[in-house]
Amino acid sequence: MTTKNIPVLATCVVFFVFFANVVAGAAGIGVFLTDVGEMLTLFAACICFVVAMLAHERAARETSAQSANDET
């Protein structure tokens, strides 16, 4: 696992917690997060997603700059 995949994994894990809470509530099992906890979990998933996309964008920019330098 590379360093740039860690934010993607964190996004998936945090969103899975939110999704599991929603599914548990819909199934009638009972929720394990409060409304505020749900909001904060979804907010954390969004922040992790933004960090992941920015990291991938930076890696792509560095790769394209490096390949442009190699061609010259």
Q: What is the pTM of this model?
A: 0.79
Is the model's pLDDT at 71 over the cut of 80? Answer: no
DSSP H helices in the chain: 6-26, 35-71
Q: What is the pLDDT of residues 22-49, one digit of tens each?
A: 999 999 998 899 999 999 999 999 999 9
- Predicted pLDDT of residue 72: 63
pLDDT band at 67, cuts 50/70/90? confident
- Predicted pLDDT of residue 1: 64
Is the model's pLDDT at 7 over the cut of 90? Answer: no
**What is the C-alpha radius of gyration for the chain, rounded to an integer number of angstroms?**
18
Residue 66's φ and ψ, nearest 5 degrees, are -70, -40
Q: How far apart are CA 68 and CA 60, in angstroms?
A: 12
